[in-house]
Amino acid sequence: MKPASFEYFAPKTMAEALEKIGQVGDDGGKILAGGQSLIPAMNFRLAQPASLVDLNSVSELFYIKPGTDGSVLVGSMTRDTTVEFDPTIAKLAPMVQECLPFLAHPAIRNRGTFGGALAHGDPAGQLPVVAVAMNFGMKINKTGSDRTVPADEFYTSMYSNVMESDEILTEISIPKLSGRTGTSYKQTARQTGASALVGTAAVITLDDNDVCSVARVAFMGVSEIPVLSSEINSRLVGQKLTPELITSAIDACVENELDPGSDIHATPAFRRHLARVLGVDAVTTAYAKAKK
């Protein structure tokens, strides 16, 4: 099957791209980044945009560079493979590189973009749950203005976010991990490269006395958007972590905060079971890394 007809625009500068999406966004225009999700949807006519604004010629959106506050800034069109093998990302944001090999296959990551995967907001996507756990800054531009939205406020529903039709995600700020911080990403999938059934991203920070000061644990595959657990945070922060405390915090999260649906791949009960097992594993691993 082939896509429905559409207009195609290939701006070469950010200004041109913002101008064009401002003109066509309200009329059903879409941004084309890596196209690894949008193009298949168009071929099956699940998506029928009136026009595409292709960002692949906008060189201003391809970069990885340090921020002035110790963060890492990633241009939204930077290829997933570039991020996966970047030494700065490996040093300052190891969980990003930990999750990326689970994202489809190398051929997909070679073309897919870091910002595209985040903006797409797949409920089974690896990068959105990591973004929420680490609370990336999502810089959004439109002609004449920009704003930065924390990742834990970015997603609104399945495949939807706070961006308006005339806006473009231009930059992702990955914050510096403070002090004694450990991170861990865990997931379960039916096969290599398949969408995850459930995934967990954990960020644990300890003070000098091994008391937990930060516990940001997010789950995917259990809701339309990544779920950042307040139960785990409230039960772990201020405490010295033990296996029993970690397990009880994960149990409380699974029982009180997660509401997975049912599909042909897994029942709600099985997804809760996976969230419980993966959650304990991710927090325990992040805790061990923070103690080193």
* CATH classification at residue 13: 3.30.43.10
Tell me the CA distances in angstroms from 121 to 37, 115, 154, 155, 175, one per residue in order. 11, 10, 9, 7, 20
Q: Give the total number of structural domains in the chain.
A: 3
Q: Centre a 10 Å sphere on the Cβ of residue 176 and count the other Cβ atoms it contains.
A: 14
Long-range Cβ contacts of 268-272 (<8 Å, 24+ apart): 270/197, 271/197, 271/198, 271/221, 271/222, 272/222
| pLDDT category of residue 127 using cuts at 50, 70 and 90 | very high
pLDDT in tens, 228-254: 999 999 999 999 999 999 999 999 999
Q: Which of 174, 193, 215 is the last residue of a domain?
A: 174
| 190 and 105 both lie in a single domain | no
Single out the residue of 67, 174, 74 nearest to residue 116, CA to CA. Answer: 74
Residue 81 within a domain: yes
Q: Which of 110, 142, 174 is the last residue of a domain?
A: 174
| 108 and 210 both lie in a single domain | no
Residue-level pLDDT at 209: 97
CB 221 within 8 A of CB 197: yes
| 71 and 162 both lie in a single domain | yes
Instruction: Tell the burial category of 233 from Cβ atoms under 10 Å away from its Cβ (0-12, 13-18, 19+).
Output: middle
pLDDT at 158 over 80: yes
| 230 and 250 both lie in a single domain | yes
| 140 and 202 both lie in a single domain | no
SS3 at position 221: coil
Residue 1 within a domain: no
Residue 2 within a domain: no
Domain of 266, CATH number, reads: 3.30.390.50
| pLDDT category of residue 131 using cuts at 50, 70 and 90 | very high
| 225 and 243 both lie in a single domain | yes
What number is the average pLDDT over the span 101-130? 96
Full residue range of the structural domain in which residue 143 is found: 59-174
Domain of 81, CATH number, reads: 3.30.465.10
Residue 30 within a domain: yes
| pLDDT category of residue 115 using cuts at 50, 70 and 90 | very high
Q: What angle do CA 174, 175, 176 make, to 5 degrees?
A: 125
Q: Which two tokens stand for residue 131?
A: 């973004």
End-to-end CA distance of the chain: 54
Tell me the CA distances in angstroms from 7 to 29, 42, 54, 142, 220, one per residue in order. 9, 13, 11, 21, 35
| 66 and 165 both lie in a single domain | yes
What number is the average pLDDT over the span 280-287? 98
pLDDT at 12 over 90: yes
| 79 and 13 both lie in a single domain | no
Residue-level pLDDT at 13: 98
| 144 and 104 both lie in a single domain | yes
For residue 79, list its beta bridge partners.
113
Residue-level pLDDT at 15: 97
pLDDT in tens, 192-228: 888 899 999 999 999 999 999 999 999 999 999 999 9
